[in-house]
A and B are shown apart, each in its own frame.
Chain A
């Protein structure tokens, strides 16, 4: 796995930090959204994880996701609370999925919005799969930590439906960002 060939280190770290900052910002904005209730979040912050994945590889995506969860929870005051563990479990599920999907072939230098991963999935497919993994891990975590009753699985179709819709929408958004990003050659980036 050498995504590093495509983009030299300083530039890579810069982009990771930009994406992480954007993800944290979106995470906080989302937490302030009214009316969505505790059961549903669009997960817009994850678009930046996706961008990191398609642009820089899955380790970078893992970095962006973990920074988002850590900094986001500290800013919101939920660090080490049940909410935090739900966040971590979701992010872990999504990142593991990204890792599995990236296989050995994600280190190409082709335009990132058009990149294909294992199984021929593009941005939207990856987003959908990661979103499903995210919510499934969260439901499992909620079952272990909070609810402790198998009845929670009766709500699984609703959770999955939400993840399905937001997964597609976030995938499309990430695609648009990647397209935009591909137009620029930023400092030190080889095309």
Chain B
């Protein structure tokens, strides 16, 4: 930023303005942190056709096979994270989503009809689940 622009910013603002600029930036920053921070998950729930077929704690490393619409898929839990492994669906979006670990996070493979979702403290999820909207 050139001196001229700095001078304009200085000339055009009052003391209150400068404080306001600073404080509102801090406020927005902390709001973002508050809204986007999610607790680490405790458990992963595996759903098929909207029914829970499996619950696994994220604290124990393991790989569990689950029957999906396109054959067997694997749910791998490791070091507090979980991922879906399947190689039969056309685009492998569920597998390519990678690891999830935060409460409310989800991974889905629609062709295999498998949904993984991580839940947090006492099974509670955050109110919005990080989604804009849900339709069924």
Residues of A at under 8 Å CB distance from B? 113, 116, 119-125, 128-129, 132, 147, 149-154, 156-157, 160-161, 164, 168, 171-172, 175-176
Contacts and interface: CB of A to CB of B under 8 A. Distances in A.
Contacts of B132: 147, 149, 151-152
A172 to B, nearest CB: 5
A119 B12 contact: no
Q: Which of A125, A147, A156 has the most CB of B within 10 A?
A: A125
Contacts of A113: 12
Nearest to B9: A172
A124 to B, nearest CB: 5
A156 B17 contact: no
Given A122-B17, A149-B132, A164 B24 contact: yes
Q: Which of B20, B36, B131 has the most CB of A within 10 A?
A: B20
A177 to B, nearest CB: 11
A153 B126 CA distance: 13
B16 A119 contact: yes
22 contacts: A120-B14, A120-B15, A121-B14, A121-B20, A123-B12, A124-B13, A125-B13, A125-B20, A125-B21, A149-B133, A152-B132, A153-B128, A154-B130, A156-B35, A157-B28, A160-B28, A160-B31, A164-B21, A164-B25, A172-B12, A175-B8, A176-B12
Nearest to B30: A157
B24 A150 contact: no
Nearest to A131: B24
Interface string B90-108: 0000000000000000000
A126 to B, nearest CB: 8
B26 to A, nearest CB: 11
A23 B109 CA distance: 50
Contact of A121 (B16, B28, B36, B131): B16
Contacts of A123: 12
A161 B13 contact: no
Nearest to A123: B12
A124 B127 contact: no
A172 B7 CA distance: 11
B29 to A, nearest CB: 8
A189 B136 CA distance: 64
A128 B17 contact: yes
B1 interface: no
Contact of B32 (A122, A125, A157, A172): A157
Given A122-B16, A157-B35, 17 more contacts: A116-B14, A120-B16, A121-B14, A122-B12, A122-B17, A125-B13, A125-B16, A132-B24, A150-B128, A153-B128, A154-B35, A157-B28, A157-B32, A160-B31, A161-B32, A164-B25, A175-B8
